[in-house]
Structure 1
């Protein structure tokens, strides 16, 4: 099996190309073989984004919740990756058309990210400009944070 980072990058490319079924299949396969908690969180987040794009909102919610629980347990509630998941949860609520439900996780994402990286960081500005993570095609190579030791490049906010 190719390294996790390559599988995640391939799935992101497939998703960016609109090949959602292939991306989801690759991510589900990757998830079955993952053992590192942070890797599992990254895969859950990537699969949730894919499901959101295809209207599978309930499945996306379960995966975001799983990723959030793992990251909060392993890295703490104020880690930048927690902000990325809250950003994506806001985007999910927005995609569902529940705009008032998108505000709370979007604000939580901004608050956490400001504490983690400072108010002047570009990711904070992006969160403020796009509160609730309203849908937009992801840009290949965009990472939510620097790589953690021994694992993938981090949870991505869906930007």
Structure 2
């Protein structure tokens, strides 16, 4: 099979993924990749990586089951082709942990993330990019059921991501975004608001005002404001998010649907 990284459709799919156009990215990846093969056939490393990236686009449309199929195939192929401790293998394992966490399979998410962290620490040390990604996934898995334990894990990962990769790296934005949500959950609302506003600013600067991640950051700030009793501000912000998402992404986009649900939460 020809490595899809040489295919214009995959280059376009990756660009659409970066821009937050998940539907276009899914269409382009599907055109090249289709269903993962069954049986003993082994795809090349570039194809397996493209499948892992395809899963990110599927997750962006809340198609978590389909994304899991792609991630499972990519992970098994990378283990066989590259080895269980290869950075690509460990990064895919961390992504799979995030995926099953989105499906509320919290124990499995934790075990996958913990395994990825342990392998990465043993093979590369705490500062390797694969280890940093895995550590962030572990914090995300912990946040589902043990937010007080997740907070120091995420803080440490954020500190090291900023030191090693720099605050302009997308993992830094993700870590701050996750930390803001954890702080809201544990009731540290003043700091949660500060961090949430930092996330919005950096996402607007790097991803644009209409990117789904930017809108998600604004919705999360609205939830912080609502928790702090600033209901009027929360409602106004959530309505803005819903309006922008509807215009930019569409009425039926999963992000728009989620934002409408958040609007009802702050309105209640």
Cα offset, 1:133, TM superposition = 7.7
Cα distance change, pair 88–133 in 1 and its aligned pair in 2 (3 A): farther
Cα offset, 1:45, TM superposition = 1.4
Cα offset, 1:80, TM superposition = 3.2
Cα offset, 1:21, TM superposition = 1.8
Cα distance change, pair 124–17 in 1 and its aligned pair in 2 (3 A): closer
Structure 1 runs (4+) greater than 4 angstroms displaced: none
Cα distance change, pair 22–99 in 1 and its aligned pair in 2 (3 A): same
Cα distance change, pair 57–130 in 1 and its aligned pair in 2 (3 A): closer
Higher gyration radius (CA): 2
Distance in 1, matches of 2:103 and 2:198, equals 30
Name the structure with the higher helix share: 2
8 Å contact from structure 1 (residues 80, 113) kept in 2: no
Cα distance change, pair 132–57 in 1 and its aligned pair in 2 (3 A): farther
1:92 corresponds, among 182, 190, 198, to 182
SS at the partner of 1:107? helix
Higher relative contact order structure (alpha carbons within 8 Å, sequence separation ≥ 6): 1
- CA RMSD in angstroms comes to 2.3
SS at the partner of 1:131? helix
Aligned residues: 133
Tell me the residue number matched to 1:38.
129
Cα distance change, pair 80–29 in 1 and its aligned pair in 2 (3 A): closer
Cα offset, 1:104, TM superposition = 0.7
Taking structure 2 as the reference length, what is the TM-score of the superposition?
A: 0.44
Cα distance change, pair 12–123 in 1 and its aligned pair in 2 (3 A): closer
